[in-house]
Amino acid sequence: MSDDDTGWSDSPLPVGLLFSQTGITAAAERTQLFATRLAISEINAAGGIGGREIVAVGQDCQANPKTFRQEATRLLDEAGVKILFGCYMSSTRKAVLPVVESRNALLAYPTFYEGFEYSPNCIYTGATPNQNTQPLVRHILEHYGSRMLLVGSNYIFPYESNRIFSDLVTESRGKILDEIYVPLDPKPEDFERTIRQIRRFSPDVIFSNVVGSGTAMLYEAYRQAGFDPARMPIASLTTSEAEVAEMSAAAAEGHFTAAPYFATLDTEPNRRFLAAYRAMFGADIPITAAAEAAYFQVHLVAAAIDQARSLVPAAVVEALGRVQFEAPQGRVAVDPTNNHTFLWPRVARVDAQKRFEIVWDPHRRMKPDPYFVSSALDDWSLVPQPAKID
Protein backbone atom coordinates (compact mmCIF):
# COMPACT_ATOMS: atom_id res chain seq x y z
CA MET A 1 0.00 0.00 0.00
CA SER A 2 1.56 3.27 -1.04
CA ASP A 3 -0.74 6.23 -0.58
CA ASP A 4 0.41 9.42 -2.25
CA ASP A 5 -0.75 12.95 -1.37
CA THR A 6 -4.26 12.19 -2.56
CA GLY A 7 -4.57 9.23 -0.20
CA TRP A 8 -5.12 7.05 -3.26
CA SER A 9 -3.80 3.51 -3.66
CA ASP A 10 -4.98 0.12 -4.92
CA SER A 11 -5.57 -1.43 -1.50
CA PRO A 12 -8.99 -1.79 0.17
CA LEU A 13 -10.39 1.54 1.32
CA PRO A 14 -11.22 1.73 5.03
CA VAL A 15 -14.09 4.04 6.04
CA GLY A 16 -15.12 4.80 9.61
CA LEU A 17 -18.69 4.37 10.84
CA LEU A 18 -19.73 6.47 13.85
CA PHE A 19 -23.09 5.16 15.05
CA SER A 20 -24.58 4.02 18.36
CA GLN A 21 -25.90 0.55 18.92
CA THR A 22 -26.64 1.26 22.57
CA GLY A 23 -27.86 4.39 24.38
CA ILE A 24 -30.86 6.67 24.03
CA THR A 25 -30.76 7.19 20.26
CA ALA A 26 -29.68 3.65 19.34
CA ALA A 27 -32.99 2.82 17.62
CA ALA A 28 -32.57 5.62 15.07
CA GLU A 29 -28.79 5.21 14.75
CA ARG A 30 -29.11 1.49 14.13
CA THR A 31 -31.24 2.30 11.07
CA GLN A 32 -28.44 4.62 9.89
CA LEU A 33 -25.79 1.97 10.49
CA PHE A 34 -27.78 -0.63 8.53
CA ALA A 35 -28.43 1.73 5.63
CA THR A 36 -24.74 2.67 5.50
CA ARG A 37 -23.80 -1.01 5.39
CA LEU A 38 -26.34 -1.62 2.62
CA ALA A 39 -24.87 1.14 0.46
CA ILE A 40 -21.33 -0.14 1.06
CA SER A 41 -22.34 -3.67 0.07
CA GLU A 42 -24.02 -2.34 -3.12
CA ILE A 43 -20.92 -0.38 -4.08
CA ASN A 44 -18.62 -3.34 -3.36
CA ALA A 45 -20.88 -5.66 -5.39
CA ALA A 46 -20.49 -3.23 -8.29
CA GLY A 47 -16.69 -3.30 -8.06
CA GLY A 48 -15.93 -0.89 -5.19
CA ILE A 49 -14.63 2.65 -5.65
CA GLY A 50 -12.33 2.68 -8.65
CA GLY A 51 -11.76 -1.03 -8.10
CA ARG A 52 -11.07 -0.62 -4.36
CA GLU A 53 -13.22 -2.59 -1.96
CA ILE A 54 -14.70 -0.47 0.86
CA VAL A 55 -14.03 -1.88 4.32
CA ALA A 56 -16.18 -0.46 7.12
CA VAL A 57 -14.63 -0.08 10.58
CA GLY A 58 -15.98 1.40 13.79
CA GLN A 59 -17.36 0.48 17.19
CA ASP A 60 -20.54 1.32 19.10
CA CYS A 61 -20.44 5.04 20.01
CA GLN A 62 -23.06 4.59 22.79
CA ALA A 63 -24.94 7.86 22.07
CA ASN A 64 -22.24 9.64 24.04
CA PRO A 65 -20.32 12.65 22.62
CA LYS A 66 -17.13 11.63 24.44
CA THR A 67 -17.25 8.10 23.01
CA PHE A 68 -17.91 9.53 19.53
CA ARG A 69 -14.86 11.76 19.84
CA GLN A 70 -12.65 8.91 21.11
CA GLU A 71 -13.81 6.60 18.34
CA ALA A 72 -13.25 9.25 15.66
CA THR A 73 -9.75 9.83 17.04
CA ARG A 74 -8.98 6.10 17.04
CA LEU A 75 -10.27 5.62 13.49
CA LEU A 76 -8.35 8.58 12.09
CA ASP A 77 -5.11 8.09 14.04
CA GLU A 78 -4.85 4.30 14.24
CA ALA A 79 -7.12 2.64 11.66
CA GLY A 80 -5.92 4.46 8.54
CA VAL A 81 -9.34 6.08 7.96
CA LYS A 82 -9.78 9.40 6.14
CA ILE A 83 -13.54 9.29 5.51
CA LEU A 84 -16.12 9.01 8.30
CA PHE A 85 -19.87 8.41 7.99
CA GLY A 86 -22.10 9.07 10.95
CA CYS A 87 -23.29 11.01 14.01
CA TYR A 88 -26.93 11.53 14.95
CA MET A 89 -27.23 14.00 17.84
CA SER A 90 -25.71 17.39 17.11
CA SER A 91 -23.76 17.14 20.36
CA THR A 92 -21.92 14.15 18.89
CA ARG A 93 -21.19 15.93 15.58
CA LYS A 94 -19.88 18.94 17.52
CA ALA A 95 -17.63 16.60 19.53
CA VAL A 96 -16.26 14.88 16.42
CA LEU A 97 -15.74 17.83 14.05
CA PRO A 98 -12.63 19.36 15.70
CA VAL A 99 -10.92 15.96 15.47
CA VAL A 100 -11.93 15.61 11.80
CA GLU A 101 -10.78 19.14 10.96
CA SER A 102 -7.43 18.81 12.75
CA ARG A 103 -6.64 15.65 10.68
CA ASN A 104 -8.04 17.16 7.45
CA ALA A 105 -10.42 14.21 7.14
CA LEU A 106 -14.04 14.22 5.90
CA LEU A 107 -17.22 13.55 7.89
CA ALA A 108 -20.47 12.82 6.03
CA TYR A 109 -23.28 13.62 8.49
CA PRO A 110 -26.65 12.03 7.67
CA THR A 111 -29.02 13.62 10.20
CA PHE A 112 -31.42 16.59 10.12
CA TYR A 113 -30.00 19.31 12.36
CA GLU A 114 -30.27 22.94 13.46
CA GLY A 115 -28.11 24.49 10.71
CA PHE A 116 -25.87 27.51 11.30
CA GLU A 117 -22.73 25.50 10.70
CA TYR A 118 -20.23 24.97 7.91
CA SER A 119 -17.02 23.00 7.81
CA PRO A 120 -14.90 22.30 4.73
CA ASN A 121 -14.40 18.88 6.34
CA CYS A 122 -18.09 18.01 6.60
CA ILE A 123 -20.95 17.39 4.22
CA TYR A 124 -24.46 17.55 5.66
CA THR A 125 -27.07 15.28 4.05
CA GLY A 126 -29.96 15.60 6.51
CA ALA A 127 -32.57 18.35 6.39
CA THR A 128 -31.77 21.92 7.38
CA PRO A 129 -34.51 23.99 9.12
CA ASN A 130 -35.76 25.51 5.87
CA GLN A 131 -36.32 21.96 4.57
CA ASN A 132 -38.24 20.58 7.58
CA THR A 133 -39.15 23.19 10.23
CA GLN A 134 -40.50 25.74 7.80
CA PRO A 135 -42.87 23.29 6.02
CA LEU A 136 -43.99 21.91 9.39
CA VAL A 137 -44.76 25.37 10.80
CA ARG A 138 -46.73 26.31 7.71
CA HIS A 139 -48.72 23.10 7.88
CA ILE A 140 -49.70 23.40 11.52
CA LEU A 141 -50.46 27.13 11.30
CA GLU A 142 -52.80 26.43 8.38
CA HIS A 143 -54.57 23.47 9.93
CA TYR A 144 -54.43 23.81 13.73
CA GLY A 145 -53.62 27.30 14.95
CA SER A 146 -50.79 29.40 16.28
CA ARG A 147 -50.63 28.76 20.05
CA MET A 148 -47.65 26.45 20.57
CA LEU A 149 -46.11 24.60 23.49
CA LEU A 150 -42.53 23.39 23.02
CA VAL A 151 -40.90 20.35 24.59
CA GLY A 152 -37.42 19.03 23.87
CA SER A 153 -34.49 17.02 25.16
CA ASN A 154 -31.88 18.97 27.06
CA TYR A 155 -29.11 19.56 24.48
CA ILE A 156 -28.13 21.79 21.59
CA PHE A 157 -30.42 20.60 18.78
CA PRO A 158 -33.71 21.12 20.65
CA TYR A 159 -32.59 24.57 21.95
CA GLU A 160 -31.71 25.73 18.45
CA SER A 161 -34.63 24.03 16.74
CA ASN A 162 -37.03 25.62 19.25
CA ARG A 163 -35.43 29.02 18.65
CA ILE A 164 -35.99 28.74 14.88
CA PHE A 165 -39.52 27.36 15.35
CA SER A 166 -40.34 30.22 17.76
CA ASP A 167 -39.04 32.84 15.31
CA LEU A 168 -41.23 31.44 12.54
CA VAL A 169 -44.30 31.25 14.78
CA THR A 170 -43.94 34.71 16.31
CA GLU A 171 -43.29 36.25 12.86
CA SER A 172 -46.74 34.94 12.01
CA ARG A 173 -48.16 36.54 15.18
CA GLY A 174 -48.38 33.17 16.86
CA LYS A 175 -47.59 32.55 20.50
CA ILE A 176 -45.14 30.32 22.38
CA LEU A 177 -46.93 29.33 25.59
CA ASP A 178 -44.08 27.44 27.25
CA GLU A 179 -40.74 25.83 26.43
CA ILE A 180 -39.89 22.76 28.48
CA TYR A 181 -36.73 20.63 28.52
CA VAL A 182 -36.57 17.07 29.82
CA PRO A 183 -33.37 15.14 30.60
CA LEU A 184 -31.70 13.43 27.65
CA ASP A 185 -32.30 10.06 29.27
CA PRO A 186 -35.70 10.72 30.87
CA LYS A 187 -38.03 8.64 33.01
CA PRO A 188 -41.79 8.68 32.39
CA GLU A 189 -42.30 11.03 35.36
CA ASP A 190 -40.08 13.66 33.70
CA PHE A 191 -43.01 14.32 31.34
CA GLU A 192 -45.49 15.10 34.15
CA ARG A 193 -44.75 18.83 34.01
CA THR A 194 -45.24 18.83 30.23
CA ILE A 195 -48.64 17.17 30.62
CA ARG A 196 -49.61 19.66 33.36
CA GLN A 197 -48.62 22.60 31.14
CA ILE A 198 -50.52 21.18 28.15
CA ARG A 199 -53.59 20.89 30.36
CA ARG A 200 -53.08 24.41 31.70
CA PHE A 201 -52.55 26.18 28.35
CA SER A 202 -54.51 23.94 25.98
CA PRO A 203 -52.24 24.85 23.03
CA ASP A 204 -53.14 24.31 19.38
CA VAL A 205 -49.99 22.23 18.77
CA ILE A 206 -47.19 20.68 20.83
CA PHE A 207 -43.81 20.93 19.07
CA SER A 208 -41.57 18.08 20.21
CA ASN A 209 -37.81 17.96 19.88
CA VAL A 210 -37.55 15.05 22.30
CA VAL A 211 -35.03 12.56 20.89
CA GLY A 212 -34.60 8.83 21.25
CA SER A 213 -36.15 6.65 23.90
CA GLY A 214 -37.93 9.56 25.65
CA THR A 215 -40.14 10.05 22.59
CA ALA A 216 -42.39 7.08 23.32
CA MET A 217 -42.72 8.27 26.94
CA LEU A 218 -44.01 11.67 25.78
CA TYR A 219 -46.53 10.23 23.30
CA GLU A 220 -47.76 7.59 25.79
CA ALA A 221 -48.14 10.25 28.53
CA TYR A 222 -50.07 12.46 26.10
CA ARG A 223 -52.39 9.54 25.25
CA GLN A 224 -52.89 8.56 28.89
CA ALA A 225 -53.82 12.17 29.68
CA GLY A 226 -56.72 11.79 27.22
CA PHE A 227 -55.68 14.57 24.83
CA ASP A 228 -57.03 14.50 21.29
CA PRO A 229 -54.50 14.58 18.37
CA ALA A 230 -57.28 15.61 15.97
CA ARG A 231 -57.55 18.90 17.87
CA MET A 232 -54.07 19.31 19.40
CA PRO A 233 -51.43 17.17 17.66
CA ILE A 234 -47.77 16.76 18.48
CA ALA A 235 -45.66 18.05 15.57
CA SER A 236 -42.06 16.91 15.46
CA LEU A 237 -38.83 16.65 13.51
CA THR A 238 -37.40 13.91 15.71
CA THR A 239 -40.24 11.36 15.76
CA SER A 240 -39.41 8.97 12.95
CA GLU A 241 -40.37 5.38 12.12
CA ALA A 242 -37.76 4.24 14.69
CA GLU A 243 -39.38 6.11 17.62
CA VAL A 244 -42.92 5.25 16.48
CA ALA A 245 -41.91 1.56 16.52
CA GLU A 246 -41.32 1.92 20.28
CA MET A 247 -44.83 3.20 21.09
CA SER A 248 -48.38 1.87 20.84
CA ALA A 249 -50.45 2.61 17.74
CA ALA A 250 -52.93 4.50 19.92
CA ALA A 251 -50.16 6.80 21.15
CA ALA A 252 -48.69 7.39 17.69
CA GLU A 253 -51.82 7.96 15.59
CA GLY A 254 -52.68 11.47 14.46
CA HIS A 255 -49.34 13.16 15.14
CA PHE A 256 -47.12 14.89 12.55
CA THR A 257 -43.50 14.75 11.45
CA ALA A 258 -41.68 16.72 8.74
CA ALA A 259 -38.83 15.04 6.84
CA PRO A 260 -37.59 14.54 3.26
CA TYR A 261 -38.22 10.81 3.42
CA PHE A 262 -40.79 8.44 4.87
CA ALA A 263 -40.72 4.67 4.40
CA THR A 264 -44.24 4.91 2.90
CA LEU A 265 -43.00 6.90 -0.13
CA ASP A 266 -44.28 5.37 -3.32
CA THR A 267 -41.31 5.68 -5.68
CA GLU A 268 -39.41 3.05 -7.64
CA PRO A 269 -36.05 3.90 -5.98
CA ASN A 270 -37.76 3.60 -2.59
CA ARG A 271 -39.29 0.22 -3.44
CA ARG A 272 -35.82 -1.03 -4.40
CA PHE A 273 -34.30 0.46 -1.24
CA LEU A 274 -36.94 -1.07 1.05
CA ALA A 275 -36.59 -4.49 -0.58
CA ALA A 276 -32.78 -4.49 -0.32
CA TYR A 277 -32.80 -3.15 3.28
CA ARG A 278 -35.37 -5.71 4.42
CA ALA A 279 -33.61 -8.57 2.61
CA MET A 280 -30.39 -7.68 4.43
CA PHE A 281 -31.67 -6.76 7.91
CA GLY A 282 -35.17 -8.22 8.29
CA ALA A 283 -38.73 -7.17 7.56
CA ASP A 284 -39.35 -5.66 10.99
CA ILE A 285 -36.45 -3.22 11.15
CA PRO A 286 -37.72 0.39 10.86
CA ILE A 287 -36.44 2.62 8.08
CA THR A 288 -36.11 6.35 8.70
CA ALA A 289 -35.19 9.60 6.95
CA ALA A 290 -31.90 9.53 8.82
CA ALA A 291 -31.27 6.03 7.42
CA GLU A 292 -32.13 7.08 3.90
CA ALA A 293 -29.64 9.97 4.14
CA ALA A 294 -27.06 7.56 5.56
CA TYR A 295 -27.68 5.36 2.50
CA PHE A 296 -27.53 7.95 -0.26
CA GLN A 297 -24.58 9.85 1.21
CA VAL A 298 -22.36 6.77 0.87
CA HIS A 299 -23.34 6.55 -2.80
CA LEU A 300 -22.69 10.28 -3.32
CA VAL A 301 -19.32 10.24 -1.55
CA ALA A 302 -18.24 7.04 -3.31
CA ALA A 303 -19.08 8.54 -6.72
CA ALA A 304 -17.19 11.71 -5.82
CA ILE A 305 -14.11 9.80 -4.62
CA ASP A 306 -14.24 7.77 -7.80
CA GLN A 307 -14.20 10.96 -9.88
CA ALA A 308 -11.59 12.73 -7.77
CA ARG A 309 -9.33 9.66 -7.25
CA SER A 310 -8.47 11.38 -4.00
CA LEU A 311 -9.46 11.25 -0.34
CA VAL A 312 -8.49 14.86 0.30
CA PRO A 313 -11.69 16.60 1.53
CA ALA A 314 -11.34 19.62 -0.77
CA ALA A 315 -11.03 17.33 -3.81
CA VAL A 316 -13.92 15.08 -2.73
CA VAL A 317 -16.18 18.06 -2.00
CA GLU A 318 -15.24 19.64 -5.32
CA ALA A 319 -16.18 16.40 -7.13
CA LEU A 320 -19.44 16.19 -5.13
CA GLY A 321 -20.53 19.31 -6.99
CA ARG A 322 -20.66 17.19 -10.17
CA VAL A 323 -22.45 14.17 -8.69
CA GLN A 324 -26.15 13.36 -8.24
CA PHE A 325 -27.92 10.24 -6.97
CA GLU A 326 -31.44 8.84 -7.50
CA ALA A 327 -32.19 8.46 -3.80
CA PRO A 328 -35.37 6.87 -2.42
CA GLN A 329 -36.71 10.40 -1.67
CA GLY A 330 -35.87 11.73 -5.17
CA ARG A 331 -32.72 12.93 -6.90
CA VAL A 332 -30.28 14.45 -4.42
CA ALA A 333 -27.07 16.44 -4.75
CA VAL A 334 -24.78 18.35 -2.42
CA ASP A 335 -24.89 22.13 -2.83
CA PRO A 336 -21.24 23.08 -3.34
CA THR A 337 -21.89 26.59 -2.01
CA ASN A 338 -22.56 25.35 1.52
CA ASN A 339 -21.87 21.55 1.71
CA HIS A 340 -25.54 20.84 2.56
CA THR A 341 -27.94 18.89 0.34
CA PHE A 342 -30.82 19.59 -2.03
CA LEU A 343 -33.72 17.59 -0.50
CA TRP A 344 -37.45 16.97 -1.02
CA PRO A 345 -39.52 18.41 1.87
CA ARG A 346 -42.57 16.50 3.11
CA VAL A 347 -44.98 16.44 6.05
CA ALA A 348 -46.67 13.23 7.20
CA ARG A 349 -49.24 12.14 9.77
CA VAL A 350 -49.12 8.78 11.55
CA ASP A 351 -52.10 6.54 10.78
CA ALA A 352 -53.73 3.80 12.87
CA GLN A 353 -51.18 1.23 11.59
CA LYS A 354 -48.26 3.47 12.69
CA ARG A 355 -47.50 4.29 9.06
CA PHE A 356 -46.57 7.81 7.99
CA GLU A 357 -49.25 9.03 5.60
CA ILE A 358 -47.81 11.91 3.56
CA VAL A 359 -50.13 14.93 3.82
CA TRP A 360 -47.99 17.60 2.15
CA ASP A 361 -45.61 16.97 -0.73
CA PRO A 362 -44.76 19.77 -3.16
CA HIS A 363 -42.78 17.34 -5.36
CA ARG A 364 -39.97 19.86 -5.47
CA ARG A 365 -36.40 19.68 -4.43
CA MET A 366 -35.42 22.44 -2.03
CA LYS A 367 -32.10 24.19 -1.86
CA PRO A 368 -30.55 23.92 1.60
CA ASP A 369 -30.47 27.24 3.45
CA PRO A 370 -28.42 26.32 6.54
CA TYR A 371 -28.03 29.92 7.67
CA PHE A 372 -31.74 30.45 7.23
CA VAL A 373 -31.29 33.55 5.14
CA SER A 374 -34.87 33.22 3.85
CA SER A 375 -36.33 32.60 7.26
CA ALA A 376 -39.68 34.36 7.00
CA LEU A 377 -42.67 32.14 6.30
CA ASP A 378 -43.90 34.83 3.92
CA ASP A 379 -40.85 34.13 1.78
CA TRP A 380 -42.05 30.60 1.20
CA SER A 381 -42.78 31.13 -2.47
CA LEU A 382 -39.16 32.16 -2.93
CA VAL A 383 -37.64 29.33 -0.97
CA PRO A 384 -38.34 25.99 -2.71
CA GLN A 385 -36.18 26.57 -5.69
CA PRO A 386 -36.31 23.98 -8.42
CA ALA A 387 -32.79 22.68 -8.62
CA LYS A 388 -30.69 24.34 -11.28
CA ILE A 389 -28.04 21.68 -11.04
CA ASP A 390 -29.74 19.03 -13.18
90-102 and 156-171 helices cross at what angle (nearest 10)? 120
201 CB contacts (<8 Å, ≥6 apart)? 147, 149, 177, 178
- Among the listed ranges 106-114, 239-247, 262-270, 295-303, the one in contact with ligand ACM (CB under 6 A) is 106-114
Question: In this structure, what is the dihedral angle of CA atoms 79, 82, 88, 90, given to the nearest 10 degrees?
Answer: 110
For ligand ACM, which is the closer residue by CB, 112 or 344?
A: 112
Choice from 113, 261, 295, 372 touching ligand ACM (CB under 6 A): 113
Site for ligand ACM, residues 181 to 240, rule: CB under 6 A: 211, 238
Cα Rg of the chain, angstroms: 20
Site for ligand ACM, residues 134 to 163, rule: CB under 6 A: 157
Q: How far apart are CA 138 and CA 236, in angstroms?
A: 13
- Spatial strand order of the sheet with 325-327 comes to 325-327, 330-335, 340-342
For ligand ACM, which is the closer residue by CB, 179 or 253?
A: 179
Q: Report, in Å, the least distance between residue 380 CB and ligand ACM.
A: 23
Question: In this structure, what is the dihedral angle of CA atoms 19, 160, 247, 58, given to the nearest 10 degrees?
Answer: 0
Site for ligand ACM, residues 325 to 354, rule: CB under 6 A: none
Q: Report, in Å, the least distance between residue 332 CB and ligand ACM.
A: 18
Host H or E run for residue 335: strand 330-335
For ligand ACM, which is the closer residue by CB, 33 or 54?
A: 33
Q: Report, in Å, the least distance between residue 301 CB and ligand ACM.
A: 19
Choice from 67, 90, 132, 166 touching ligand ACM (CB under 6 A): 90
Applying CB under 6 A, does 133 fall inside the site for ligand ACM? Answer: no
CA angle 101, 332, 120 (to 5 degrees): 15
Q: Report, in Å, the least distance between residue 238 CB and ligand ACM.
A: 6
Query: How many Å separate Cα 360 from the centre of its chain?
Result: 19
Q: Report, in Å, the least distance between residue 127 CB and ligand ACM.
A: 10
Which amino acid is located at 327 in the chain? Answer: A
313-320 and 289-308 helices cross at what angle (nearest 10)? 110
Which amino acid is located at 89 in the chain? Answer: M
- Among the listed ranges 107-115, 257-265, 357-365, 380-388, the one in contact with ligand ACM (CB under 6 A) is 107-115
- Among the listed ranges 108-116, 225-233, 314-322, 373-381, the one in contact with ligand ACM (CB under 6 A) is 108-116
**Quick one: CA dihedral 375, 378, 382, 385, positive or negative?**
positive
CB atoms within 10 A of CB 59: 15
Question: In this structure, what is the dihedral angle of CA atoms 368, 371, 373, 375, given to the nearest 10 degrees?
Answer: 80
Number of residues that bind ligand ACM (CB under 6 A): 8
Instruction: Classify residue 264 by its DSSP letter.
Output: T
Instruction: Classify residue 127 by its DSSP letter.
Output: P
Q: Report, in Å, the least distance between residue 111 CB and ligand ACM.
A: 5
Choice from 36, 64, 111, 125 touching ligand ACM (CB under 6 A): 111
For ligand ACM, which is the closer residue by CB, 212 or 330?
A: 212
Closest residue by beta carbon to ligand ACM:
157
For ligand ACM, which is the closer residue by CB, 85 or 144?
A: 85
Q: Report, in Å, the least distance between residue 155 CB and ligand ACM.
A: 7
Choice from 89, 96, 127, 308 touching ligand ACM (CB under 6 A): 89
By CB under 6 A, name the binding residues for ligand ACM: 89-90, 111-113, 157, 211, 238
